[in-house]
């Protein structure tokens, strides 16, 4: 498994998962809930790329890098085999405003490649839940493990469909 951070060289592959969701300002990977998600993917034996939209370096995010960060995210979101939305939304520190926009875009752009999860105590999730159920026909998950397991199933389905269409993909997750 390769973990690709926004302050590192970009690697694009369809056997990949983008970790969408709110990010605290002035956060970096060591302080992030995404670190636990990556650990769970490692335990599951995932052999693809995980896109983490955070800086790896232990430093505050430079607001002058917003455009670079945003364009990095767009490229990875478009390339990812799965966009995993884990939304532990709470106010005021993780309102997930950008997450809402990305969720709308990617449930429209590639609905069969989106997985939604959020803890039971996440705030204001009704709209995202309804949209997800309407577009994917699936229910959102409510634990990290369940969300990750679902994302691996959906990724396998996507990679199989790509193979059947004759599109080249490098790997398949072995369940």
Which domains, ranges and CATH numbers included, belong to the chain?
2-164 (3.40.50.450)
Percent of the chain with pLDDT over 90: 65
Inform me whether the pLDDT recorded for 172 exceeds 50.
no
At 173, is the pLDDT very low, low, confident or very high (cuts 50, 70, 90)?
very low
CB 82 within 8 A of CB 151: yes
Task: Evaluate the omega torsion of the peptide bond into residue 89 and state whether it is cis, within 30 degrees of 0.
Answer: no
Which of the residue ranges 48-62, 94-108, 109-123, 133-147 would you say has the lowest mean pLDDT? 48-62
Taking residues 163-168, report their average pLDDT.
76
pTM of the prediction?
0.91
Q: If pLDDT is split at 50, 70 and 90, which confidence band does 175 have? A: very low
Give residue 69's pLDDT: 86
> Are 142 and 120 in contact, with CB atoms under 8 Å apart?
yes
| pLDDT (average), residues 150-168 | 89
Residue 143 CA to its chain's centroid (Å): 15
- pLDDT score for 62: 66
Query: Sheet of 114-117: strands edge to edge?
Result: 2-5, 49-52, 16-20, 82-86, 114-117
- CA 43 to chain CA centroid, Å, is 17
């Amino acid at each position: 498994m390769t973990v690709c951070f926004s302050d590192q060289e970009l690697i694009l592959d369809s056997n990949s998962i983008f970790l969408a969701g709110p990010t605290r300002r002035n956060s970096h990977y060591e302080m992030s809930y995404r670190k636990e998600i990556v650990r769970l993917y490692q335990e599951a034996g995932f052999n693809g790329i995980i896109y983490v939209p955070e800086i790896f370096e232990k430093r505050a995010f430079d607001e002058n890098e917003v455009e670079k960060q945003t364009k990095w995210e767009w490229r990875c979101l478009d390339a990812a085999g799965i966009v995993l939305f884990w939304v532990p939304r709470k106010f005021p520190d993780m309102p997930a405003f950008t997450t809402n926009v990305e969720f709308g875009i990617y449930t429209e752009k590639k609905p069969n490649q989106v997985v939604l999860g959020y803890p039971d105590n996440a705030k204001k999730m009704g709209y995202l839940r309804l949209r997800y159920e309407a577009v994917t026909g699936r229910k959102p998950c409510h634990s990290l493990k369940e969300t990750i397991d679902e994302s691996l199933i959906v990724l396998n389905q996507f990679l199989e469909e790509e193979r059947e269409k004759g599109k080249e993909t490098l790997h398949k997750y072995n369940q």
